[in-house]
Amino acid sequence: MKLCFNQGSSDHCKGHSMMADLEAAERYGFDYIDLRFDVLDDYLKGHTAEELAAWFGSHHLKPSSYSGLLFFNWKRTDEEKQKVFDELNRLIPIFNTIGLRTIAVIPSCDIKEHASIEEIKDDAVWMLNRMADLCEPHGISLALEFIGMGSFTINRFDTAYDIVTAVNRDSVGMAVDLFHFYAMASNPADVAACDGKKIINLHLNDAEGLPIGAPYLDDSKRLWPGDGCIDKKAVTDALKACGFDTDAIPAAVEVFRPEYYGLTVDENVKTAYEKTKAFVERYFS
């Protein structure tokens, strides 16, 4: 299985930058990198997409996914919807230049309306179809990432899976992030019964043992893969049972832990690699 480093993991480390991540991820053995939206924006203020493409062209490390397009759904006006499409239209030429083929899309949170699950699903299906109309001709896929917090509109595996199966396009799949999976008590049985081809992003991490739904069970409680209380065997066995493609989809380490931001970029990336490699060897081989 290929290993991928998500830039969120080192985002606030001292000396952090696009190039610091790229060089460290290459040095410690990662195959892929997931580019974080704000790090890419910062980089492009002083560089071009062509420069980034040239770097990837001369190294083993390659871009995997964009992490991510924020708050794509439950837009209440045409103007708000158009902003999402405009953002995609801005990003697509960049991704074509650097060879990035998957965009993680993050649902909206803290909405005013007391929307039902069905209303949220219908809206998300419509939006994803419009977004795929823009991305699909470029060979770019969308990975819907459910966010395991009560404030998010799409916060469980089953809801996200229903949405991507209703969209029913090869270019629209979903992300499974172990922390989000744990944090809203998604069910491994739903994964085992799903079409594994719909899972096109896998985010590895772990979690502190805090109550499901607690407002303080947030991203800061993420741990390195293997270091926390998630039932890793149950989730990875379910992924294997559904036909999730471990050859095609890399295992991407994604943590946002303040304590890990105290490490240097080098220490952070090195630790991320060791933890991810050990996790994959234990649960996916």
Asked if 254 interacts with Zn ion (CB under 5 A), we say yes
Cβ count near 39 (within 10 Å): 19
Burial class (CB in 10 A: 0-12, 13-18, 19+), 161: buried
Place of tokens 């303040």: 258
d(CA 122, CA 78): 16
Asked if 123 interacts with Zn ion (CB under 5 A), we say no
The 3-state secondary structure of 13-33 reads: CECCCHHHHHHHHHHHCCCEE
d(CA 239, CA 256): 24
In this structure, what token pair is assigned to residue 137?
């001709």
Least distance in angstroms from the C-beta of 76 to Zn ion: 26
Nearer to Zn ion, 151 or 168 (CB): 151
Which one of 55-63, 171-179, 227-235, 267-275 is the stretch in contact with Zn ion (CB under 5 A)? 171-179
Asked if 257 interacts with Zn ion (CB under 5 A), we say no
Which one of 88-96, 158-166, 198-206, 214-222 is the stretch in contact with Zn ion (CB under 5 A)? 198-206
Asked if 203 interacts with Zn ion (CB under 5 A), we say yes
Any bridge partners for residue 264, and if so which? 14
Least distance in angstroms from the C-beta of 250 to Zn ion: 13
Number of residues assigned to the chain = 285
Taking CB under 5 A as the criterion, the residue among 11, 34, 177, 206 binding Zn ion is 177
Q: Which residue is nearest to Zn ion (CB)?
A: 177
d(CA 175, CA 201): 4
Nearer to Zn ion, 162 or 219 (CB): 219
Asked if 219 interacts with Zn ion (CB under 5 A), we say no
Strands 251-253 and 32-36, sheet pairing: unpaired
Least distance in angstroms from the C-beta of 180 to Zn ion: 6
Least distance in angstroms from the C-beta of 117 to Zn ion: 21
Least distance in angstroms from the C-beta of 279 to Zn ion: 15
Nearer to Zn ion, 81 or 217 (CB): 217
Which one of 25-33, 202-210, 232-240, 267-275 is the stretch in contact with Zn ion (CB under 5 A)? 202-210
How far CA 91 is from CA of 71, 88, 143, 167, 279, in Å, comes to 15, 5, 15, 22, 32
Which one of 75-83, 153-161, 192-200, 254-262 is the stretch in contact with Zn ion (CB under 5 A)? 254-262
Nearer to Zn ion, 81 or 276 (CB): 276
Interface with Zn ion by CB under 5 A: which residues? 177, 203, 254
